[in-house]
A = this chain, B = another copy of it.
């Protein structure tokens, strides 16, 4: 502003792939996050906040979705030439934190975190480059009791935010079992050159979307999608494809039955046997805690797309149906997932630190609640608004607003400088439950008019003409100034109930 040149005005616009979040959605998010936080606290997790930036080398190459190799991070160079990146998830910063503070932390270390993450990806409809995750992780124990507990936590969290039992399911599998199956068809899961393993994982991960037939193509010769794009396959023989699909389809009515169905498929593999044993231990903990009533279920079709899982993997699925873009009914699907990753801290220290965690995609979960019409309705009412009928009386109106606030009522005096009509329009736009009116007549009589805007809107629909309206003045009461607070409270209680 110091120098006046020809004004070049920037356009007021959001950067591509970013969005503003306004009051109604933000309040619903807050309520949901509070319920999640409360659940995680009850499970004994402690909050932790790491900064938005990490050194790029500390984030490493653990990009969360190997399906999109171009997925990138926002990076820039610091003054000392070191590269910084904005975190793309909350797991990589946790690994850095644990490695940096290992000695002084309680073991196991159990933290939850909620925060913004950024992905430098091509934005699309409903696909943003900034979003919120909510994670819980237990670091420093190989016990699958920790994995089981995280599954129970996931189930309890769904119910805490208003998703009912039967509308969700926490599905569990184990990468070691899957590796056992792969060994059975001649693929060495430990072979570092084994890109094939990842191709197989990703193929199976698409079962929900493509069905067994589509997955079979991706396991075998490859698949051309509707748009004509060809995805290369894993090149498995028919026999091997059938074995993989048989495993994936081995989910049975009960956890124990599923485990019995899996057993012969991995009997000759050390890794498979170990994985099966872990699943059995989890199943016994799940059933002792009573979560085998459909809340948590062993499901061999769950693999998760991420490279770094080393044992149990889990996914929180919403099982109710919604309509997809083409009008077909589909399951709502995954709202979060996780698993065991025993090697992330070792990147820094060389020392393996077993860990397991679960991450919720906050906006996706909120979209689910919106679909179910179960978002918290808290505070959707606007403030009670004291209209300004006479600017010389501002102090008087201000005091009324103050009295209301001191009684815990959300209230404001109209702060603009426009007339009555604009003030009423403002009150409507703010969703005010009522307005308080005191002109000179009312002042002389020591009264205020209180107009219930919600009742008023209803009444307006049944009143034909202006004259009748003025005569009946529906939903408007005149009360002594001293009764103002009491009367406004009554109106608000009526509309919140």
- Give which listed residue, B11, B52, B53, B417, contacts A142 with CB less than 8 A: B417
Alpha-carbon distance between A22 and B417 when the two chains are bound, in angstroms: 47
For residue A143, which residues in chain B have a CB less than 8 angstroms away from its CB? 415-417
A262 at the interface (CB under 8 A from B): no
A293 at the interface (CB under 8 A from B): no
For residue A75, which residues in chain B have a CB less than 8 angstroms away from its CB? 76
A47 at the interface (CB under 8 A from B): yes
| Given A396-B288, A398-B289: A130 in contact with B26 (beta carbons within 8 A) | no
| Given A395-B284, A416-B140: A54 in contact with B97 (beta carbons within 8 A) | no
Give, as a whole number of angstroms, the nearest-CB distance from A15 to chain B.
5
Alpha-carbon distance between A412 and B99 when the two chains are bound, in angstroms: 24
- Identify which of A164-172, A246-254, A341-349, A487-495 touches chain B: A341-349
CB nearest neighbor in B for A415: B146
- Give which listed residue, B51, B80, B285, contacts A20 with CB less than 8 A: B51
| Given A44-B383, A130-B52, A395-B289: A430 in contact with B58 (beta carbons within 8 A) | no
A138 at the interface (CB under 8 A from B): yes
A133 at the interface (CB under 8 A from B): no
Alpha-carbon distance between A213 and B308 when the two chains are bound, in angstroms: 65
Alpha-carbon distance between A142 and B4 when the two chains are bound, in angstroms: 24
Alpha-carbon distance between A80 and B17 when the two chains are bound, in angstroms: 13
Of residues 9 through 64 on chain A, the ones whose CB sits less than 8 Å from some CB of chain B are 9-16, 18-23, 26-27, 30, 41-44, 46-55, 57-58, 60-61
Query: 9 closest pairs, A vs B, by CB?
Result: A288-B395, A44-B412, A12-B99, A44-B383, A18-B51, A106-B429, A10-B57, A12-B348, A23-B46
A307 at the interface (CB under 8 A from B): yes
Q: Told that A52-B130, A116-B116 touch, could you supply 11 new A-B pairs with CB distance under 8 A?
A: A1-B61, A1-B343, A2-B307, A12-B100, A18-B51, A18-B53, A27-B47, A43-B383, A44-B411, A146-B415, A148-B398
- Contact between A394 and B285 (Cβ–Cβ < 8 Å)? yes
- Give which listed residue, B51, B289, B399, contacts A15 with CB less than 8 A: B51
A402 at the interface (CB under 8 A from B): yes
Residue of A3, A53, A111, A116 with highest tally of chain B CB at under 10 A: A53
Q: How large is the interface on A (under 10, 10 to 19, 20 to 34, 35 or more residues)?
A: 35 or more
Give, as a whole number of angstroms, the nearest-CB distance from A275 to chain B.
18
- Contact between A152 and B348 (Cβ–Cβ < 8 Å)? no
Alpha-carbon distance between A60 and B394 when the two chains are bound, in angstroms: 36
Of residues 338 through 389 on chain A, the ones whose CB sits less than 8 Å from some CB of chain B are 343, 347-350, 379, 382-383, 385
CB 8 Å contact bits of A410-435 with B (1 = contact, 0 = none):
11110111100010001001100000
A78 at the interface (CB under 8 A from B): yes
A192 at the interface (CB under 8 A from B): yes
Give, as a whole number of angstroms, the nearest-CB distance from A94 to chain B.
10
Alpha-carbon distance between A379 and B13 when the two chains are bound, in angstroms: 42
Alpha-carbon distance between A2 and B190 when the two chains are bound, in angstroms: 10
A459 at the interface (CB under 8 A from B): no
- Give which listed residue, B4, B16, B415, B418, contacts A138 with CB less than 8 A: B415
